[in-house]
Chains A and B, each alone.
Chain A
Amino acid sequence: MNRKELRRRCGLALPVTFLLFVALCGVWPGLLATHDPLKTHYDRTFELPSSEFWLGTDQYGRDIYSRLVYGSRITTMIGFGSLAISVLLGVPLGLLAAWYKGIPDMVVMRGMDLLMVFPPIFVGIVAITFLGAGLSSLIAVIGFLYVPRFARVAYSAAKEVSEESYIEAARAIGQTDIAILLRHILPNIAATVTVQAGVSLAFMILLAAGLNFLGLGVPPPTPSWGLMVGEARRYLTINGGILIVWPSTFIVLVILSINAISDQLSSRRSRV
């Protein structure tokens, strides 16, 4: 392994480790949290970091570190849930449109274009207003909003692949459409879809954090990073605004890690 290769591997190792840590916090927060994230200590508000409260306490005297750990649950759920919805709906739609051409192509792809005319955050705000705030509606709304993007990416990749001669060969030996789609086309567009998943994942988490920040996402007191920044905004004059630092750092690190990984993946693909 030469030095360049080593640097590239390290460039991936750091963000991957951090994201795994966040996912672990999300799946099993009890393991890493030191306090109950909802337990208030009214006599100990706005404390600075100490051995008891690792990152200090917030306006209700709740332990910030534990709230951050539990807050990663929202990020992880959005990451897995919304991404799953948009991939599982978007990719098949794109595949069908590319394979059957003609009317399915027109209906599906023009439909997707049409949906992209409505800005995601506006639709998100309205949808959540009428569905009611909460984690499940947040996951569903964000997932649906990204269906068109995956349909488009899968569509253009599948279109390219289906021109290949091995697809013609598979058809000639009498394989069914479903078999060709699943066995030959899907594996060949998987890499492209993965890159898109990385890019979209960052946007999805940002959108969720933004909605939480505005108070339109998961209702308090459930800890979420976006909401923590939003609440901290009211106490900017206390301790030099340190309350916004911790949740902001976590969000930035997560997005930075996802973007760094998807940059690496796409540049590696273009080099091959």
Chain B
Amino acid sequence: MLAYVVRRVAVALVVMAVALTLVFLVIRVVPGDPALLVLGTRARPEVVQAVRESLGLDRPLHVQYYNWWRDLIHLDLGQSFYTKLPVIHEVLRRFPRSMELIVLSLALAVLLGIPIGILASSGRKSLSSLSSSTALMLISVPDFVIGTALVLLFSLQLRLLPSGGFVGIMRPMEHLRRVILPVMMMAVGPTGIVIRMVRGNLSATLRTDYVTTARAKGLSEAAILFKHALRNIMVPIVAILGVEAGVRLGGMVIAEAIFSWPGISSLLIDACYQRDYPVIQGVILLTAVYVISVNLLVDLVNAVVNPKIRYE
């Protein structure tokens, strides 16, 4: 196990280094001067020069690369053009808020999706087709339609929940009331995917020899389901959750926009409107690190759940 972990972590670190280098190169090598992109083509030359200097773009490429890594290792992502504050502070302040939405919505998706998926593969024809059309529906409705519909229903018609905004965790009740709608919105798609995964894998697993053996031993259906079958479908579920945790950033962008949630993606959108270059770079770097870490975590969890993976 230790050897597997070490190897997998090493691979992740290499991928991370290459991915971060890619960000560095895209900014500098792609045609078009970043300073001009930030300022627009009509900017005065001396202003462009000042921005180039502040970004360190006037130095030779290998010096820039060295300095870039030195700053990264010291967690220095530069200063926002707009607020003049260190980018790392803002990024780290916003990141947990986005994580909260992603983690809660995936948890909700698992809590809803696994039971529905089990019901779907229970063999009753009507249940099975009902749940598969539900899953198809959940996957097909765009995030922003769901979000808008939730605001319309819960905030404007029923007046149960606020339509958006953010309150710190220090006021837990108010915080919770504002978390509910974005989390519901973001959970819809993943729930459909979990239902499909459970259904697809469970009905195949329930036909395998070892399940037949377990039945022949006289185990109850519940014991078969929980001890044998569910354990085996955990690997694909964890894998798909990992993918979703990355893909769901898309849903998060929409959720943060609809519910005015000041997370990482609303930071990115604001930075794009303001051409706040260091902030854009900071957000992209952080999400790449995040996605690679999630992939690593998924591999490690799967190696724990399924020993076979470790020895491949």
Closest to B196 in A: A263
Interface presence of B176 (CB below 8 A): no
Interface presence of A1 (CB below 8 A): no
Interface presence of A101 (CB below 8 A): no
Interface presence of B140 (CB below 8 A): yes
B145, A252: Cβ atoms closer than 8 Å: yes
B268, A126: Cβ atoms closer than 8 Å: yes
Among the 9-residue stretches A37-45, A64-72, A187-195, A253-261, the one with 4 or more Cβ atoms under 8 Å from chain B is: A253-261
Given A209-B142, A236-B152, A248-B145 in contact, is the A118-B253 Cβ separation under 8 Å? no
A256 to B148, CA, bound (A): 19
Closest to A233 in B: B148
A-B contact count (CB 8 A): 111
* Number of B interface residues in the complex (CB < 8 A): 41
* Cβ–Cβ < 8 Å partners of B140 in chain A: 202, 252, 255-256, 259
Interface presence of B166 (CB below 8 A): no
A125, B291: Cβ atoms closer than 8 Å: no
* Cβ–Cβ < 8 Å partners of B149 in chain A: 244, 248
A206 to B146, CA, bound (A): 13
A120 to B275, CA, bound (A): 19
B265, A237: Cβ atoms closer than 8 Å: no
Q: Mark B76-97, 1 if CB is under 8 A from A, else 0.
A: 0000000000000000000000
Among the 9-residue stretches B58-66, B113-121, B220-228, B242-250, the one with 4 or more Cβ atoms under 8 Å from chain A is: B242-250
Instruction: Name B280-298 residues within 8 Å CB distance of A.
Output: 280, 283-284, 287-288, 291-292
Interface presence of B214 (CB below 8 A): no
Given A260-B136, A263-B136 in contact, is the A122-B144 Cβ separation under 8 Å? no
A117, B156: Cβ atoms closer than 8 Å: no
Among B151, B247, B280, B291, the residue within 8 A (CB) of A126 is: B280
Closest to B246 in A: A119
* Cβ–Cβ < 8 Å partners of B233 in chain A: none
A255, B268: Cβ atoms closer than 8 Å: no
Interface presence of B43 (CB below 8 A): no
Instruction: Name A104-148 residues within 8 Å CB distance of B.
Output: 113-114, 117-123, 125-126, 129-130
* Cβ–Cβ < 8 Å partners of A256 in chain B: 136-137, 140
B257, A214: Cβ atoms closer than 8 Å: yes
Given A118-B284, A130-B37 in contact, is the A125-B142 Cβ separation under 8 Å? no
Task: Return B125 CB to nearest CB of chain A, in Å.
Answer: 13
* Cβ–Cβ < 8 Å partners of A237 in chain B: 156
Task: Return B203 CB to nearest CB of chain A, in Å.
Answer: 13
Given A210-B254, A214-B257 in contact, is the A241-B291 Cβ separation under 8 Å? no
* Cβ–Cβ < 8 Å partners of B136 in chain A: 256, 259-260, 263
Among the 9-residue stretches B15-23, B47-55, B301-309, the one with 4 or more Cβ atoms under 8 Å from chain A is: B15-23
Interface presence of A251 (CB below 8 A): yes
A202 to B189, CA, bound (A): 13
A148 to B157, CA, bound (A): 44
A233 to B144, CA, bound (A): 10
Task: Return A75 CB to nearest CB of chain B, in Å.
Answer: 12
B156, A241: Cβ atoms closer than 8 Å: yes
Given A117-B19, A117-B292, A130-B37 in contact, is the A122-B265 Cβ separation under 8 Å? yes
Q: Which residues of A contact B (CB under 8 A)?
A: 113-114, 117-123, 125-126, 129-130, 202, 206-207, 209-210, 213-214, 216, 226, 229-230, 232-233, 236-237, 241, 244, 248, 251-252, 255-256, 259-260, 263
7 A/B residue pairs, CB under 8 Å, sorted by A: A118-B287, A130-B32, A202-B140, A213-B142, A213-B257, A252-B145, A263-B136
The 9 closest A-B pairs by CB, nearest first: A129-B272, A121-B250, A119-B249, A255-B140, A256-B140, A248-B145, A241-B152, A213-B144, A117-B19
